[in-house]
Amino acid sequence: MVLLLILVAFSCFNGVFSLGRKELLSLKRLTTTPAPARFSHTPKDGATILEMKHIKHIQKGLLTLDVVRVESIQSRIKNVVSGRVESSQARVPISSGIQLQTLNYIVIVTLGIRNLTVIVDTGSDLSWVQCQPCRLCYTQPEPLFNPLVSPSYRSVQCNSQPCHTLQSNTGNSGLCGNNAPKCNYAVTYGDGSYTRGELGRDRLTLGMTPVENFVFGCGRNNRGLFGAASGLLGLGRNDLSLISQTSDVFGGVFSYCLPNSDSGTSGSLILGNDTLVFKNTTPVSYTRLIPNPQLYSFYILNMTGASVGGVPLQSPSFGGNGVLIDSGTVITRLPPSVYTCVKAEFLRQFTGYPSAPSFSILDTCFNLSAYDEVNIPTLKMQFEGDAEISVDVTGMFYFAKRDASQVCLALASLAYEDQIGIIGNYQQRNTRVVYDTKQMQVGFAKEVCSFS
């Protein structure tokens, strides 16, 4: 028993000894968010977000949604397994969707003449908004998009290219009946959530840059994991994604910097190769996209290693299946062997703190309410070509309770070794992530997200 444990522990290390590196996380700042009345020491400089009770409630539900998303991605994968010069740029603020009950990130775009708040999703292709007249729409604070009052809106016809593309991508024939000139669409996200309606075209304006005749779904029957956002912007690699549709305009390149959801600041989503942004970052390190014709819409990378607090880990799973990077998954999922190593090394370095019960999918939790600040060993993930994501200190811990009495390592294990790992948005905070679909690479640089 003991021998076995030692062997397991040793199999995690590279045999390279390295000084542990930790970063300071101030808990004081995080606990300055509105504390419930029963706390007598409510700080003065409370940066207001949501009431604690509200957040607690939402967060529990939201992580459940994250589980469903990962199951859905895994099931999509399982189901599948049975150039031009860029000329323009567009820059829009990207911010946490927490106010809209989602842990996804949102941007405001202009569709026709309407400003709409939509989720940014690199894990799917077709963009859509909830549309009037609606048969079944979830509640959203913004008025529904009404194609009838958008002068530049056009229905996509059945016998047109986008309709054929949709059909060949989804294998969904029969969306056009004999007497239906309009192209209907149905996207199901595998977990029961869906959007259905008709395909339309309108002018999409991103920042100051208009994209004419943008094809999107005018959704009349929508249900699922979208919080209260008005729709979704699909940034996947397939034909109908924003990136594919605008490859003439933006050159198939985009990047984002996702801010810490507690900070109240925005980051930026940039379409096109805006090199100015790299003045505020460390040099970008690139890794190649792993081609997978059957999983074409995902961005899949070759993860070759990881370290915790500067201590390199070893696992046979590195360099195997590939991992996908996704803006729409919250918590990073690692193969069990990798997760076990990360957790063991983290616990070895983060000692002396009282533990707390597990929270949802997070099994490594602490009660840190007695501390003003703690030193946290941070995670680095390495990718083929010497690219590296250095997880920001704010991406290491998930605050299940605002008073820091249940703070959890923000990583989770996949169920099976052969499932594909997913790098979630929590671990991408304060990193400039560059997607280059032309040169088939993804790059990372450290950046403190801001929109300016």
Is residue 326 part of the annotated active site? The answer reads: yes
**Size of residue set near ligand NAG by CB under 6 A:** 18
146 near ligand NAG, judged by CB under 6 A: no
Helix (H) or strand (E) holding 6, with range, is helix 2-11
**Which of the residues 66, 121, 403, 436 is marked catalytic?**
121
248 near ligand NAG, judged by CB under 6 A: no
Q: Can you tell me the distance from the alpha carbon of 108 to that of 110, in angstroms, rounded to the nearest whole number?
A: 7
Alpha helix ranges (H) inside 99-207? 161-170
373: nearest Cα among 116, 113, 92, 27 = 27
> Token pair of 44, please?
């003065």
The answer for 372, left when phi > 0, alpha when psi is -120 to 50, beta otherwise, is alpha
**Which of the residues 191, 239, 262, 326 is marked catalytic?**
326
What is the signed CA dihedral for 60, 65, 69, 71, rounded to 10 degrees?
70
Tell me which of 42, 79, 87, 115 binds ligand NAG, using CB under 6 A.
115
Tell me which of 132, 304, 375, 450 binds ligand NAG, using CB under 6 A.
304
Q: Can you tell me the distance from the alpha carbon of 216 to that of 31, in angstroms, rounded to the nearest whole number?
A: 41
> Token pair of 194, please?
């869906």
The nearest distance, CB 436 to ligand NAG, in angstroms, is: 4
Give the three-class secondary structure for 327: coil
> With CB under 6 A as the contact rule, which of the stretches 120-128, 155-163, 171-179, 367-375 interacts with ligand NAG?
367-375
Q: State the binding string over 58-87 for ligand NAG (x if CB under 6 A, else -).
A: ------------------------------
Tell me which of 82, 275, 351, 452 binds ligand NAG, using CB under 6 A.
275
Is residue 274 part of the annotated active site? The answer reads: no
Q: Can you tell me the distance from the alpha carbon of 303 to that of 282, in angstroms, rounded to the nearest whole number?
A: 20
Q: What is the 3-state secondary structure (H, E, C) of 239-307?
A: CCCHHHHCHHHHCCEEEEEECCCCCCCCEEEEECCCHHHHHHCCCCEEEECCCCHHHCCCCEECEEEEE
Tell me which of 101, 124, 266, 302 binds ligand NAG, using CB under 6 A.
302
Residue at 133: amino acid letter: P
141 near ligand NAG, judged by CB under 6 A: no
Between residues 102 and 273, which has the closer beta carbon with respect to ligand NAG? 273
149 near ligand NAG, judged by CB under 6 A: no
40 near ligand NAG, judged by CB under 6 A: no
Q: Residue holding tokens 């908004």?
A: 129
Q: Under a CB-based contact definition with an 8 Å cutoff, are residues 385 and 319 in contact?
A: no
The nearest distance, CB 28 to ligand NAG, in angstroms, is: 15
Q: Can you tell me the distance from the alpha carbon of 225 to that of 194, in angstroms, rounded to the nearest whole number?
A: 9
The nearest distance, CB 403 to ligand NAG, in angstroms, is: 8
Tell me which of 273, 314, 317, 329 binds ligand NAG, using CB under 6 A.
273
> With CB under 6 A as the contact rule, which of the stretches 107-115, 261-269, 332-340, 344-352 interacts with ligand NAG?
107-115
436 near ligand NAG, judged by CB under 6 A: yes
- DSSP annotation of 353 reads P
35 near ligand NAG, judged by CB under 6 A: no
443: nearest Cα among 325, 316, 331, 297 = 325
> With CB under 6 A as the contact rule, which of the stretches 53-61, 173-181, 196-204, 363-371 interacts with ligand NAG?
363-371
The nearest distance, CB 87 to ligand NAG, in angstroms, is: 12
Pairing of strands 231-234, 114-121: parallel
Between residues 115 and 161, which has the closer beta carbon with respect to ligand NAG? 115
Give the three-class secondary structure for 131: strand
Q: Can you tell me the distance from the alpha carbon of 269 to that of 119, in angstroms, rounded to the nearest whole number?
A: 12
The nearest distance, CB 31 to ligand NAG, in angstroms, is: 12
322 near ligand NAG, judged by CB under 6 A: yes
Between residues 114 and 348, which has the closer beta carbon with respect to ligand NAG? 114
152 near ligand NAG, judged by CB under 6 A: no
CA 213 to chain centroid, in Å, comes to: 27
Angle between helices 336-349 and 2-11 (to 10 degrees): 100
Tell me which of 11, 26, 369, 450 binds ligand NAG, using CB under 6 A.
369
253 near ligand NAG, judged by CB under 6 A: yes
The nearest distance, CB 368 to ligand NAG, in angstroms, is: 8
319 near ligand NAG, judged by CB under 6 A: yes
Instruction: Using CB under 6 A, list all residues that contact ligand NAG.
Output: 110, 113, 115, 253, 273, 275, 290, 302, 304, 319, 322, 367, 369-370, 384, 405, 436, 439
The catalytic residues are 121, 326
